[in-house]
Structure 1
Amino acid sequence: CVTGANRHDSVVFEDLVDALPAVGGKPGRPRRRPGKLHADKGYDYPRCRVHLKRRGIQDRIARKGIERNDRLGRHRWVVERTHAWLAAFGKLRTRFERRIDIHVALLSLACCVICARNLPLFC
């Protein structure tokens, strides 16, 4: 889900959760949704928590003014690492494209390059 940099993340929270693909892993029928969702204080709004509860997802959202984000560190590093990989592509570090389709295409291309770099080489 790609939005403008001037929009708050929680605005598209519901769309993002609903767009999650089925969770695979164990044999049998794949689960439709994850068991729990970890998020930082930017998503600490009642409507975000209610949306997760309606979907049967346990929320792990840090509360503003009560909790620190340190507890999310072991889960949050995956997101931060991915942002760092994408920031390595200068064209994506600062978004200059006005058209969303071009930006999504560049994001997809960057993700393909990142995945190709991590494939083991078979000689």
Structure 2
Amino acid sequence: MTRQRIGEELWPTLEALLPKRRVSPRGGRPRVDERAAALNGILFVLFTGIPWKDLPPEMDFGSGMTCSRRLREWQDDGVRARLHAAMLARSRGNTRWPFIL
């Protein structure tokens, strides 16, 4: 997964499982919807084993800090389990994936 990204055919399925942007009760600037970039960055870090701070900026995944924060938020929201279940259902028994969610 050196430069591989989530394909356009798969993104609508995954996007539906990711929580919408949270609105801060303190106000402030609205968060940019970077869910696709963050998910790609998370998968890149998990697959390669690099530290979050070393996520290459030229790959347009966003910052390692943002990707790390999204992973924590999504884990707290139960997203990982939903993504895993959706990918198992989609694979129809063919679970030869290059990574484990």
- Interval containing the TM-score (normalised by the shorter chain): under 0.3
Structure with more contact order per residue of length (Cα contacts < 8 Å, sep ≥ 6) = 2
More strand by share: 1
Bigger radius of gyration among the two: 1
Q: With the length of structure 2 as denominator, give the TM-score of the two structures.
A: 0.27
